[in-house]
Amino acid sequence: MSATTKNRYDVAIIGAGPAGMAAAVEVTKAGLSAIVLDEQPAPGGQIYRGIETSDEKRTKILGPDYAAGRDIARAFRDSRAEYLPGATVWNIDSALGIDVSLGQGSKHIQAGAIVVATGAIERPTPMPGWTLPGVTTAGALQILLKANGVVSDDVVFVGSGPLLSLIAAQMLKAGVKPRAIVETVPQSRYVAALKHLPAALGAASYLLKGMAMMLSLRRAGVPIYRDATGIRIEGNGKAEAVTFTSGGKSHRLETTSVALHQGIVPNQQVTRLLRCEHEWNKSQHCFVPKVDEYFETTMADVYVAGDGAGIGGAVAARLRGRLAGLRIAEKAGRGNAQERRSVTDALMREAKIRPLLETLYAPSPEILAPADETLVCRCEEVTAGDIRKAVDLGAPGPNQVKSFLRSGMGPCQGRMCGLAVSEIIASRRGEPISEIGYYRIRPPLKPLLLSELAALESEEAVPVDLADESAALH
């Protein structure tokens, strides 16, 4: 690997998680030039965050699935791909020119093909009190553990999904017992999920791991509340307690740390910016970019590998990255059809567990239909009621709601509210969410510092869209 000296590459890869790293290895193996643009300071993505610096003890706590990232990162470091850490992509034009912010400066890169490997984000979980300090996503606590070895000793986990119990079990191994797990999975889901069990047995190792985690939590005496509803986080300026109903009783658990999780969804910012077509995935309950069997989007030479193409997990992410890489090589006349087929077969095996997980851990009805007074847009402090009112006043979709209310116009640019806003509009209008669509995403993908903008202006003209929506980030 060498330092960045040039700005034209056969392939630019955005993100250095399992998909991005695998794609980089494949295309460089085929002799193509590649650069990997990563927001983080080191390879791994969120799933293998801190993989190069995690010591034996911490790696043991995080388990073998995490440790598997070591070899992947090593293979990537050994490849001929250039790696640019601390690089935030903030614009991509239709000719595949990429603008990257490097903290103090900006860089322009011209790519022949792009692999978007920006992975997933946690599904927005609007509920009363979710903006209080002390409330985080469950993934945030896992990042703290992976990258920093920082833990909280009185966490109440709230929500559903395999990640929730995984993170709770990891905290337990790290020596801090979670205060409780408050699960939002309705009883009826277990029955509905049953029909997917036979297929899931094809991926029995996942089922066994899940059961082992729950067992370890129960053995340690972590209280698990099931089918919880009416969840609220209370506190004056900080999280102080979680209240909910479970088993016909109301409960109040005091805590300073609440971790929310309702599954993960594709991070759509880059594919939306590029105007790739997206579709509603009913089973995963989120928008996914339309891709062909090689993960190429509706825009030629733009691929989306990893969870960004629909949630498939870390193993699938790596396989998808390889497949996209092999396809790019093939298009450049350096194909390996046999290897491509074996990757496709492995991907099919990996997919077996998904229908069961998706049915059992579909998002809880409460976060899909938050109460009127619940904040949905955290940045601009817009409530579900405000959005419903805007719809009643005639706003037909997310972009009109955005101009009425400024929701999605704050610094997070809709990442934290987009899905919830589309959902609320769809149900208020009684239309399918596939028709309602999603925010239009414009550059810059992340707010730029004035210094970066100044550096840019002196170099070249400010992109049109930037001038056009130059709303100040307050």
Partner 1 sequence: MFKRAEETGAPALSFTFEGKPLKARSGDTIAAALLAADERIFRTTPVTETPRGPFCLMGVCFDCLVEIDGVPNRQACMVQVEEGMQVRRQSGSAEVIS
User: In the complex, which residues of this chain contact partner 1 (CB under 8 A)?
Assistant: 39, 41, 46, 53, 55, 57-58, 61, 121-122, 131, 133-137, 139-140, 143-145, 147-154, 174-176, 237-238, 256-257, 267, 378-381, 409-413, 415-416, 444, 446-451, 453, 466, 470-474
Q: How far is the CB of 474 from partner 1 (least distance, A)?
A: 3
CB 407 within 8 A of CB 377: yes
**Tell me, what DSSP letter sits at residue 333?**
T
What sign for the dihedral angle of Cα 292, 295, 296, 297? positive
Q: Spell 44-64 as b/e; 16+ CB within 10 A means b.
A: bbbbbbbbeebeeebbebbee
DSSP β-ladder status, 264-266 and 88-92? unpaired
Q: Nearest distance from residue 453's CB to partner 1, in Å?
A: 6
For residues 401 and 106, the answer to whether their CB atoms sit within 8 Å is no
Query: What does the angle CA 258 – CA 269 – CA 87 come to, to the nearest 5 degrees?
Result: 90
Residue 258 Cβ vs partner 1, minimum distance, rounded to whole Å: 11
- Measure the CA–CA gap between 173 and 64, rounded to whole angstroms: 13
Cβ atoms within 10 Å of 409's Cβ, excluding its own: 19
State which residue, 25 or 416, has the beta carbon closest to partner 1. 416
- Identify whether the C-beta of residue 56 lies closer than 8 Å to the C-beta of residue 119: no
The token duo for 209 is: 């791991």
Are the beta carbons of 332 and 32 closer than 8 angstroms?
Answer: yes
Cβ proximity to partner 1, 200 vs 441, nearer residue = 441
For partner 1, the closer of residues 70 and 446 by Cβ is 446
Query: What residues have CB less than 8 Å from 408, skipping those under 6 apart?
Result: 377, 380, 398, 401, 402, 414, 417, 418, 421, 439
Q: Which CB sits closer to partner 1, 39 or 93?
A: 39
| Helix 384-392 and helix 418-429, axial crossing angle in degrees, nearest 10 | 40
Please identify, using beta-carbon distances, which residue of 31 and 103 lies nearer to partner 1. Answer: 103
Q: Which is nearer to partner 1, 106 or 413 (CB)?
A: 413
Nearer to partner 1, 411 or 432 (CB): 411
Instruction: Encode 73-101: b = buried (16+ Cβ within 10 Å), e = exposed.
Output: beebeebebbbbeebbbbbbeeebebbbb
Least spacing, CB of residue 77 vs partner 1, in Å: 17
CB of 340 to partner 1, least distance (A): 32
CB of 124 to partner 1, least distance (A): 9
What are the residue ranges of helices labelled H in 174-236?
Answer: 187-194, 197-200, 204-219
Least distance (Å) from partner 1 to the CB of residue 353?
A: 24
Which is nearer to partner 1, 111 or 448 (by Cβ)?
Answer: 448
Listed in sequence order, the residues at least 6 apart from 452 whose beta carbon sits closer than 8 Å to its beta carbon are 101, 104, 105, 106
Q: Give the nearest distance from C-beta 473 to partner 1 in angstroms.
A: 4
The nearer residue to partner 1, 132 or 332, going by C-beta atoms, is 132
Q: Is the CB of residue 229 less than 8 Å from the CB of residue 183?
A: no
Between 113 and 409, CB nearer to partner 1: 409
Shortest Å distance, C-beta 276 to partner 1: 20
For 322, list phi and psi in degrees, rounded to 5: -60, -45
Minimum CB separation of residue 296 from partner 1 in Å reads 26
Closest CA to 444 of 466, 459, 462: 466
